[in-house]
Amino acid sequence: MRKNKYLLLIAAGLFMPFMLLAQWESDTRLTYDSLESVTSFNNARCVAASGANIHVVWHDNRDGNTEIYHKRSIDYGTTWGVDERLTTDASWSERPSIALSDSIVHVVWYDGRLGSPRVFYKRSLDNGATWGPDTALTSASGVAYHPSVAVTGSIVHVVWTDMRAGPQIYYTRSLDNGTTWETDRIITPAAPAAGKNLASVAVSDSIVHVVWMDMRASPQTYYTRSFDNGVTWETDKSITPAPSQFPSVAVLDSIVHVAYADFRHGSTTPQIYYTRSLDNGTTWETETQLAENYSSWYPSIAASSPMVHVAWPDNRNGDTSEIYYKCSADNGASWGADIRLTDNLSESREPSIVVSDSMVHAVWHDSRDANWEIYYKRNPTGNLGIAEQEKTLASLSRSFLAPSFFSDKIILRFDQERIEPLKITLYDIRGVPVFSSTYAFVPSLLSLNNTEIRHLASGVYFLCIDVNKQIETQKLIKLK
């Protein structure tokens, strides 16, 4: 595919250096109760985001027993609403997982209200304003725990560990946004009945990907997939060397990303490794070490092409446990430096990470306040996948350049003039177009000094250049 080469120059302020990815903002404390508030393991993300809407779930024992709580922001994480208790039964409820599709919020967890632990489901049809009843997803026989949920369109996928034949990985789905659910079924071989736990699920179009930690020989990460939205499943296979545990999976288009804890350096010093598949899980590349020389575990991974984001806790520098972060800007081919997200004398544990538009959102539980509390952190410009908000861009190849600066105008210089249609669109940080213009041909020089450009507020913007359906995207910084 031919790329349209261009040189982007800015009228003022070009002498200023700037990092490719902006810095993470300060920690935000989300809970203030006197007892423990705890996030879930990496397999079950506790944060979901779409545009301005950020949803966080956790379990909390402020009411005398552990219950599932929810909190939301409708302004990109700037401010937060009140804590909302989602479960009200007399028993315990733990380890929630959340997924979001448009304004429908899906939450799963396990609890003991019916005797043996079972997986339950709850949804909101109005972006978390109100919630429907609890629905039991698993059989009364056996023990079910550690669920993980993913959604695409109206199809909701849930996986968990179940003791009926096992422990084994079970699966169920809803085809109508959680209104009705199919009978659950096992998706791992019943023999050997070795430990299979902490399944993580991700979905892209009709392909469902599941990973989990498996003890059938020695601890390894196993993988299976369904090409038909969960109707049939392939034979599972190991995708990591032994010993490894605690995998987290993310997928976008045909690229499947898995982060996990690898124990090759000793049982007390797990380290974060990463592997990927470029062909929807058919073949897997050799693993890449992300965290070195210290104990690190429970990674959480998110992807928005070409960006891949991983967060995990580790104890480097003598810390009891702090949250660290690493990202790739080329779909996992190479990785940047570690970034420390927390810095206090207490423990920070079990992070979940998610991306939406240009933003990266992370939540975890933290003991800095003398008990476990939920904390949140965001990077407003840490994700370059904003161009995916325009559907015509989703399947096209794009290259992302280093950020530049402008004040009152933007000057574009193209390699040559050509008689091809040109469209220029400028997006704000939310993915909303703030300027758009079309041209019948590509000039050698184009100056954008419109009123809309001059009156923009200072901040981060994304310039999309579309030459006859060949697209490039550039991050820009507006200076006053």
pLDDT digit string, tens, across residues 89-130? 999 999 999 999 999 999 999 999 999 999 999 999 999 999
* Least confident interval from 256-270, 296-310, 430-444: 430-444
Residue 351: name the closest of 34, 56, 51 by CA. Answer: 56
First-to-last C-alpha distance (Å) of the chain: 38
Residue 75: name the closest of 380, 460, 406 by CA. Answer: 380
**Hey, how many other C-beta atoms are within 10 angstroms of the C-beta on 232?**
9
pLDDT of residue 432: 78
Pick the CATH number of 28-380 from 2.120.10.10, 1.20.120.1770, 1.10.3720.10, 2.40.10.340: 2.120.10.10
The mean per-residue pLDDT over the stretch 471-478 comes to: 77
pLDDT of residue 153: 94
pTM value > 0.75: yes
pLDDT of residue 384: 63
Domain 6-18+389-478 matching CATH 3.90.79.10: the answer reads no
Confidence band for 404, pLDDT divided at 50, 70 and 90: low
pLDDT of residue 453: 86
Residue pair 220/230 in contact by the 8 Å Cβ criterion: no
Q: Where in the chain is the domain with CATH 2.60.40.3080?
A: 6-18+389-478
Give the C-alpha separation, 33 to 47, whole Å. Answer: 20
* Least confident interval from 46-50, 122-126, 332-336, 349-353: 332-336
pLDDT of residue 399: 33
pLDDT digit string, tens, across residues 225-243? 999 999 999 999 999 998 9
pLDDT of residue 391: 28
Confidence band for 278, pLDDT divided at 50, 70 and 90: very high
Q: Where in the chain is the domain with CATH 2.120.10.10?
A: 28-380
Strands of 359-366's sheet, edge to edge?
Answer: 28-29, 373-379, 359-366, 348-356
